[in-house]
Structure 1
Amino acid sequence: MKMRRSLLLPILLATAISGCGSEPASEQQATTVDIREEPPTAGQSAEGKKSEAISVSAPNAPRIAYIYEYGYRLPADRIAEVQRKQADMCERMGPTQCQILDMKQGSAEGNYASGSLSLAVAAPRARAFGAELGRVAGSAGGSQVSGGISGEDLSKQMVDTEARLRARTVLRDRLMEVLATRKGTVAELVEAERGVAQVNEEIDQARSWLAEMQNRVNFSRVNLTYEAGSPASGGFLAPIRGALGSVGSVLGTIVAMLIMLGAVAIPLGLVGLAIRWAVLRWRGRSSAD
């Protein structure tokens, strides 16, 4: 015999899923919809229902996003050449193994020059590729002066986001079932449609976060910096550059002093003229008497 009951379906309209952990839902709305429930079949049991639950387990290996830092000191006229060769090495590996993210060259001054190169390298090859990059710099007369490896464990963030993504998917499917049965008032069905739209937005957002974190795990970032010597500080032009640089400050000081003198002298001059005019007028009257 078919039974009729009221099923309370939560619609999470203000739930945010973040890659670093989800904040608790700040608002929940409930929709009451009447649906028909078929009696369980003979082969269905509580254990069978439990088997439909989604299980999320931690990954066997940690998901770590690595960043490799390498700093090279090179002759100023070799920096551009080494930078270009290392970028060519990355391009020859193909976009599935290496990608150029950023490439810059600083302006040269005297014996000083600088540059930088950022790459995204497939994680399994990143460390060995860093050694190959070092050999290119060494062959150009350079040496590695700094280096470092840092990593961020994204395992928990990714597992949490996957779990919430699956929960939203289950909720979306239930809401779709409510809309398919067309049971309930018009207001309830409209609210269910809004809930489906909101949950779909959260699902898309969570998928993009997962894709971004997975890309960070799959591709390690390799940051390269180049420098040569130090900025020029001597030579024939050094005193001239210093003098020209001080001209502006000297002229500014003179103008400031003139403004200060004008601000004091003008009022005092007006007062003096007024006093002289008053004295001359008084003398004129005295002589007339």
Structure 2
Amino acid sequence: MKIKLLAGAMALALVGCSEKQAAEDAPASSPAADAAIESTTPAARSTDAEVPGVATTAAPGVAFDYSYAFRLDDDRIARVQQEHAEACEMLGTARCRIVDVRYQLNDEKRVEAQTQFKLDPGIARRFGADAIASIEKAEGVLADATVAGEDVGTQIDASQQRSAGAAAEVERLEGRLKAGGLDKSERAELLGQIAALKGHLGDERAARRQSEARIASTTVVFNYLGNGGLPGIGHKNPFADAGETLMLSGGTALSLVLTLGAAALPWVLLLALILLLWRSPLMTGFRARLARPVPSETTPPPAG
């Protein structure tokens, strides 16, 4: 009955604010709670069969991680992501906790977002089903769904067996210490073995606590991907991009012209100065004298 109530509360979180409040305030076995469960939307019910997952009763001791990828319009991602966060908040921190939220607009003007939850294993699959229903309501689709499981229960059993063996050995060694008749070196060796075994027992207990925590909560990750706008150009404005390219190209050309002009200006001034001197009256007269023919020397007539 408890799992049924949690599923109804999750569905109400995605249907409407008034129904959310009714599910939150209703006691665990009240008629209002049962009515809330029956009011689960058809969309959520139809999607439930499409959600991969395994009931906790069918896989005891297995820790599951759920991962979903949703694709929808970029401008709807933030709203849907907020809806999923509010649905988790309605369940309470004992059953659902938000551990990470990310929203990013990449260089291609495409939205990518992610929300990670820690959920009571009994409601993880239902939570995913209701999330898919809300995505479909926002005209999005489920692009990918993955469920990864690890047999943590077997690891816990093996750890308990190792701990039992280590504890028995500690008890045996402590019995030898109490019996007495040991020299100083033997006593020190036994104390060292007991300390090492107790350290091993502590490590095993810590590992079991981590494994038990994995079984007690299921990681659920929602990845949101934008549709990317028009094929080939995303959400970019091609006219704005063309104008930006034109301005960039024009600026580059102007910069090149100014650089070449600055490099050539001294030589142009030098050539202009030479041309001015070449056409000056002084140089004109000098060139005229150089061009004047030299008179030839005449031979005097012979004496008579």
TM-score, normalised via structure 2 length: 0.54
Residue 271 of structure 1 is matched in structure 2 by none
Offset of 1:162 from its aligned partner? Answer: 1.4
Residue 65 of structure 1 is matched in structure 2 by 63
Larger Rg: 2
Offset of 1:178 from its aligned partner? Answer: 2.9
Mapped pair 1:85 → 2:79: no
* Residues 69, 143 of structure 2: 8 Å contact kept: yes
Offset of 1:242 from its aligned partner? Answer: 10
* Residues 66, 220 of structure 1: 8 Å contact kept: yes
Q: In angstroms, what is the RMSD of aligned CA positions?
A: 3.0
* Residues 69, 144 of structure 2: 8 Å contact kept: yes
How many correspondences in the alignment?
189
Whole-Å separation in 1 of the counterparts to 2:90 and 2:238: 43
Offset of 1:108 from its aligned partner? Answer: 5.2
Residue 138 of structure 1 is matched in structure 2 by 136
TM-score, normalised via structure 1 length: 0.57
* Residues 76, 111 of structure 1: 8 Å contact kept: no
**Which structure 2 residues correspond to residues 187-202 of structure 1 after superposition, within 5 A?**
187-202=185-200
The one-letter code sitting in structure 2 at the alignment partner of 1:129 is F
Offset of 1:198 from its aligned partner? Answer: 1.0
Q: Deviations over 1:138-185 (max 9, x none)?
A: 333433222122222234322221110111111122223333344311
Whole-Å separation in 2 of the counterparts to 1:241 and 1:221: 46
Aligned to 2:93, what secondary structure does the other structure show? coil
More strand by share: 1
* Residues 109, 236 of structure 2: 8 Å contact kept: no
Residue 203 of structure 1 is matched in structure 2 by 201
Residue 43 of structure 2 is matched in structure 1 by none
The one-letter code sitting in structure 1 at the alignment partner of 2:68 is Y
Whole-Å separation in 2 of the counterparts to 1:204 and 1:241: 65
Whole-Å separation in 2 of the counterparts to 1:181 and 1:244: 91
| Closer, same or farther: CA 103–241 of 1 in aligned 2, 3 Å | farther
Mapped pair 1:153 → 2:151: yes
In structure 1, runs of 5+ residues without a counterpart are: 1-59, 249-289
Residue 214 of structure 2 is matched in structure 1 by 216
**Which structure 2 residues correspond to residues 126-275 of structure 1 after superposition, within 5 A?**
126-230=124-228, 231-232=234-235, 235-239=238-242, 240=244
* Residues 104, 112 of structure 2: 8 Å contact kept: yes
Q: Percent identity?
A: 23
* Residues 97, 121 of structure 1: 8 Å contact kept: yes
The one-letter code sitting in structure 1 at the alignment partner of 2:239 is F
Q: Deviations over 1:200-248 (max 9, x none)?
A: 1111111111121222222222111001122445513434469969x99
| Closer, same or farther: CA 168–222 of 1 in aligned 2, 3 Å | same
Highest relative contact order (Cα 8 Å, sep 6+), 1 or 2?
1
More helix by share: 2
Residue 280 of structure 2 is matched in structure 1 by none
Whole-Å separation in 1 of the counterparts to 2:106 and 2:210: 37
| Closer, same or farther: CA 166–244 of 1 in aligned 2, 3 Å | farther
In the alignment, which of 95, 98, 107 is matched to residue 100 of structure 1?
98
Q: Deviations over 1:15-56 (max 9, x none)?
A: xxxxxxxxxxxxxxxxxxxxxxxxxxxxxxxxxxxxxxxxxx
Whole-Å separation in 2 of the counterparts to 1:241 and 1:213: 56
Q: Deviations over 1:98-150 (max 9, x none)?
A: 22222211125575211011112111111111112222333334332221222
| Closer, same or farther: CA 236–170 of 1 in aligned 2, 3 Å | same
